Amino acid sequence: MDREVGGRYRLIEPLGEGGMGVVWRAHDRLLDRTVAVKEVRYTGVGDAQRADLNRRTIREARAAGRLDHPSVVVIHDVVEEDGRPWIVMQLVPSRSLAQAIGERGPLPVEQVALIGERVLGALRAAHATGVLHRDVKPENVLLADDGRVVLTDFGIATLEAEPGLTATGGLVGTPAYMPPERLNGEPARPESDLWSLGATLYAAAEGAPAYRRDSWAATVAAILRDEPAPPVRAGALTPVIMGLLRRDPAARMPAGEAAHLLRGIASTTGHAAPSGHPAGPGHPGLVHAGHTVPVPVTGSRPSVGRRLAVPAALVAVAVLAAGGALLAARMTGFPGGNGTPSAATATTGGATPPVTATPAGPSDDSPTAQASATRKPPTGGPSATPAATATAAPAGWVPYRSSAGGFAMAVPARWKVTKHPTRDSVTVRGPGSPGAFIVEWTVPDQPWLGPVRHWQGLEREILGRGEFPGYHRIGIGATTYLGRPAADWEFTWRRGGTVVHVVNRGFRTASGRPFALYWEAPDSRWARDRHYFDTFTKTFTLR
């Protein structure tokens, strides 16, 4: 087809067609790259309603374009031409989860869990900014050739903060994956996307939807009236699937709990090649914030001989939600979780063997060799508030830069920086202290209430669950960090026979990106080792 839209996008061939339009393979002449262009079509409506729908679609596409998550298709541009919107997106060479199910039948449980974790991560990022998807289904989950799992088609998403966007009264979505409240005419909510995710995981694990009937009406009636048939192949996924498929939105499994369970099940995934392609440089596995994790979609169950090792300290990291904070995995995954010290930490408080960081350029895995000569020397004591510009690396420290996290800082020269295998976080540990410093930029699902209120809410949550034996709050106080509102949460708790001391700084960037800077050490060494936290935070800068 020889047609160009927006003065730069030449349509090449259709890639697929759905109820909302056609997706084209196209060439961006300006940037000389291949893209996907979604032509949004509305039929059976008048001119006034069509204009309103066009405005809505453009707003929704722009809202989705603000999302920054490795499992969300990137929206490059929105063009209005011939009286309808054209959404220009990243072209992801892939096959859909629906295709994989159709060709292979039920998929391995660990693989489905890993796919679910990635899709849930995309939904949590969207929900944190007020964007709902409203059409999560296997056809909209892409298993990319490079190993990623990507959620696409936010074209029918709606901003929950803009009720006018849903005033058209249209019911959009695929019946088998639509939650009961939507079929009852109620507005969509984050829990609605969670139900659809549960239905998607059911289909992937069982090989068929939970609600598959002979007609549209029969499917709708079954969702509104019947409980889903208990899965027979889902295994460890069954509690997650059934928890997400609860009819009452308020009773559905929370996103955070589902993410935690999915992560645990997915950790048994082996290293089979993704998407049925042979292993090799072109198919490195699922790339998630700079770390490669395999997502096999072969017909057989992958080997579990090599498990994804989750460094114990990393599970205890604190993170921010939409600019706030969520205590990841409730911090019980530290060595000897639930307060019981492991053999490695019973006497050392969690120290790791000395590891020398090898200067090797601006890597996510090792500090860089040289400090910036333009930074000012450190000033102020441990209580000083870091300025917007980080200080230079002190003697014995070397610069480290994370391209995945978009930050840089100094680390002690012989300390090791380790990227978490599934979360957006790194941990820094080494000789000279049993402490651990963690930087995390994962987006969880809790709303942003301001840094202090957010920490207070999380404190109530973990105490309500009884997850921090001997917890004692030292303080939750507002501060300013890198020119942004922030809060420091300092407390102690007892892990076995050791009192652990923690300080956790939460803030979000001007663009809304969440960060948490977390330091823990045995309370007996707190006065001696607090300077590590102060130096880490003074040298920390956004890139």
How far apart, in whole angstroms, are the C-alpha atoms of residue 132 and residue 322?
A: 15
CATH code for the domain of 17: 3.30.200.20
Residue finishing a domain among 293, 327, 342: 293
Clarify whether residues 49 and 137 are in a common domain. Answer: no
- Residue 356 domain flag: yes
Clarify whether residues 30 and 50 are in a common domain. Answer: yes
CATH code for the domain of 380: 3.40.1000.10
Clarify whether residues 533 and 455 are in a common domain. Answer: yes
Clarify whether residues 238 and 360 are in a common domain. Answer: no
Catalytic residue among 28, 135, 146, 534: 135
pLDDT value at residue 447 = 60
pLDDT value at residue 506 = 92
- Residue 298 domain flag: no
Q: How many CA atoms lie within 13 A of 443 on its CB side?
A: 26
- Residue 115 domain flag: yes
Q: Which residues of 471-499 are buried (b: 16+ CB within 10 A; e: fewer)?
A: eeeeebeebebbebebbbbbbbbebbebb
> What is the tally of structural domains in the chain?
3
| Nearest residue to 182 (alpha-carbon basis) of 174, 146, 505 | 174
Residue finishing a domain among 34, 62, 90: 90
Clarify whether residues 287 and 316 are in a common domain. Answer: no
Clarify whether residues 58 and 130 are in a common domain. Answer: no
Clarify whether residues 16 and 84 are in a common domain. Answer: yes
Which domain range does residue 48 map to?
A: 3-90
Clarify whether residues 385 and 526 are in a common domain. Answer: yes
Clarify whether residues 446 and 325 are in a common domain. Answer: yes
- Residue 304 domain flag: no
Clarify whether residues 76 and 131 are in a common domain. Answer: no
- Residue 299 domain flag: no
CATH code for the domain of 127: 1.10.510.10
- Residue 155 domain flag: yes
Clarify whether residues 35 and 99 are in a common domain. Answer: no
Q: State if pTM tops 0.85.
A: no
Clarify whether residues 460 and 377 are in a common domain. Answer: yes
How far apart, in whole angstroms, are the C-alpha atoms of residue 124 and residue 120?
A: 6
**pLDDT tens digits for the chain (543 residues)?**
678 998 999 999 988 776 567 888 999 999 999 999 988 876 666 677 777 777 777 877 787 777 878 888 888 888 888 878 888 988 888 889 999 999 889 999 999 999 999 999 999 988 988 888 888 999 999 998 878 899 987 755 444 443 332 322 344 456 899 999 998 888 889 999 999 999 999 999 999 999 988 888 888 899 999 999 999 999 999 999 999 999 999 999 999 999 999 998 987 644 333 333 322 222 222 222 222 233 333 733 333 333 333 232 222 333 322 222 234 333 322 222 223 222 222 222 333 323 333 333 334 444 433 333 333 333 333 333 333 445 778 899 999 999 888 999 999 999 999 988 767 889 999 998 999 999 998 765 456 678 898 888 888 877 877 778 899 999 999 999 999 999 999 999 998 889 999 999 999 888 778 889 999 999 999 999 999 999 999 999 998
- Residue 300 domain flag: no
- Residue 334 domain flag: yes
- Tell me whether residue 32 is one of the annotated catalytic residues: no
DSSP for 151-211, please give it: E--GGG-EETT-GGGGTT----S-GGG--HHHHTTPPP-HHHHHHHHHHHHHHHHHSS-SS
Residue finishing a domain among 264, 293, 322: 293
